Amino acid sequence: MEKTHTAMLETATFGAGCFWGVEELFAHTQGVKDTAVGYMGGTKENPTYEDVCTDKTGHAEAVQVKYDPKEVLYEKLLNIFWENHDPTTPNRQGPDTGTQYRSVVFFHSKDQERIAKESKQKLEASGKHKKPVVTEIVPASTFWRAEEYHQRYLEKRGLSTCHS
């Protein structure tokens, strides 16, 4: 009888602007087993997209990533996060503005917190950005899964990015 490998998955959660494009990036990353878009970091219980868009709930649009740490390191996920949005613009990514579009790493463990802070310091020291990196690094809270029509939004429409 063949042994089956049951991976011990870990969770990472990132906010980097509109969650559709961010999810698409992580969904196609080796070692990522599942992604979901939703809302984290706010005060309202079970918020809807319309609630979050009022910019009054405090939630960020976030992507929760389930990954196998034997196949992809948290550091690699952070690199994808840093490389695919502008971490120097507070509450804005491209044309999208509001606190729900802030740059944020929600950590799920002390190790993730340490690695994220070290990664941010390394990015700041690199001189890649002329402006300060404003990304928040905060403890993960309740992840409220977004409405089903938001899940794999771009994939369902045959798109790879939000921009044409």
Q: What is the pLDDT of residues 72-112, one digit of tens each?
A: 999 999 999 999 999 999 999 988 899 999 999 999 999 99
CB atoms within 10 A of CB 93: 23
Stretch among 24-38, 60-74, 150-164 having the lowest mean pLDDT: 150-164
What is the chain's mean pLDDT, rounded?
92
Three-state helix/strand/coil letters over 43-109 = CCCCCCHHHHHCCCCCCEEEEEEEECCCCCCHHHHHHHHHHCCCCCCCCEECCEECHHHCEEEEECC
For the domain spanning 10-156, the CATH number is: 3.30.1060.10
CA distance 1 to 68: 24
Say if pTM beats, i.e. exceeds, 0.85.
yes
Q: How confident is the model at residue 2 (pLDDT cuts 50, 70, 90)?
A: very low
Cα–Cα dist 42/108, whole Å: 16
Is the per-residue pLDDT at 23 higher than 50? yes
Confidence bin at 164 (pLDDT 50/70/90): very low
Residues annotated as catalytic are 18
**Is pLDDT of 131 > 70?**
yes
pLDDT at 152: 86
Q: How far apart are CA 145 and CA 131, in angstroms?
A: 33
